[in-house]
Amino acid sequence: MSWPDRDRLLDLVASQVPPAGSQDCVRVGIDGVDGAGKTCFADELAAALRRRGRPVVRVSVDDFHQVQAVRHRRGRQSPSGFWLDSFDYPRLWAEVLTPLGPGGDRRYRPAGHDLTTDRVLAPAPVQAPPGAVLVLDGIFLHRDELAGAWELSVFLDVGFDETARRMAHRDGTKPDPEHPSMARYVLAQHRYLAGCRPRERADIVLDNTVLARPVLVRPAAR
């Protein structure tokens, strides 16, 4: 499905991705709470960049989860556990962000963990082409552990009432963000929003509440 307003905004964001050095890559982070539409937006942005002739590497932070024993060590329903233990940031840095960053060797691994099987993965490294744009989507991308990771970052701003409705449709969870079963996710993300202020840290802020008509809240500074 094509929405002209959305297509125009995606092309605008693609135009804001900075050029890469002759042998370097550029890293773009697509952030937002669960259900904000990060994966779809990142896929669409990658397509818009390719139409501009730019090579793209697509990675998701969801493929760098910690193993379940680490993720649930504070309890399966713990908001603190969701905030502190969900992702393996040292490995994300070592296998994606550093090799695809300034001066990196461009040899990256696209995944480190299979969430379905809880298996740790060690795929063969992939060589990104010079000038490639890494488009990486995920929650918590403006937390302190990822400071300096992005040459451009986008925050998709969507309220919890809408994201909970989307998650219910996608995952079968409760559509009420105040339901006790949603506390692990919602409270952790409230902590993130208050403590890390991604709306302020992001280069671009978009209201993605209406998928057909996302709104540019703050463009990238020129």
pLDDT per residue as tens digits for the range 186-216: 999 999 999 999 999 999 999 999 999 999 9
Instruction: Give the chain's domain count.
Output: 1
219 assigned to some structural domain: no
Beta bridge partners of 67: none
Residue 115 has pLDDT above 70, yes or no: yes
The domain that holds 37 is classified in CATH as 3.40.50.300
Place of tokens 């779809």: 40
For 161-171, write each residue's pLDDT tens digit. Answer: 999 999 999 99
Q: pTM for this structure?
A: 0.95
Whether the predicted pLDDT of 109 surpasses 90? yes
Read off the pLDDT of each residue in 114-140 and give the average, rounded to a whole number: 97
**Token reading at 110:** 């696209």
Tell whether 110 is covered by a domain. Answer: yes
State the helix-helix crossing angle for 160-171 and 183-196, rounded to 10 degrees: 140
Please determine, for residue 6, whether its predicted confidence score (pLDDT) is greater than 60: yes
Domain that holds residue 180: 4-206
Q: Is 215 a member of any domain?
A: no
Is residue 139 domain-resident? yes
* Domain assignment of residue 214, yes or no: no
Averaged pLDDT for residues 146-169: 96
Q: Is 72 inside a domain boundary?
A: yes
SS (H, E, C) 33-53: CCCCCHHHHHHHHHHHHHHCC
pLDDT band at 58; cut points 50, 70, 90: very high
Instruction: Give the angle 199-194-63 at the CA atoms, nearest 5°.
Output: 70
75-83: average pLDDT: 96
Is the pLDDT score of 4 beyond 80?
Answer: yes
Q: How confident is the model at residue 79 (pLDDT cuts 50, 70, 90)?
A: very high
